[in-house]
Amino acid sequence: MAKETESLVLRLLREIRGTQQLHGKKLDHLDKRVEDLYKISTHTLGVAANAHVRYESLEARVDQLNERVKRLEAK
């Protein structure tokens, strides 16, 4: 009887270990995907912020040139 109980316990422990390993692999995969999404989103936000700064700079330059043209036309 003790031998059967020990065998049953060992079998259950092996099943649990196998399940844990499977879940561990899935979690590792999910961690990698989350990390990739984080990198992509921070890069995208950086690109958008850079584009906005460049747009504002160009807009200011166009305003300066418009004022210059108006002054030249007024002469």
Sign (positive or negative) of CA dihedral 49, 50, 52, 56 = positive
Dihedral-angle region of residue 11 (phi above 0 means left; psi in -120 to 50 means alpha; beta otherwise): alpha
Query: Would the pLDDT of 17 be above 70?
Result: yes
- pLDDT tens digits along 26-52: 999 999 999 999 999 999 999 999 999
pLDDT of residue 1: 54
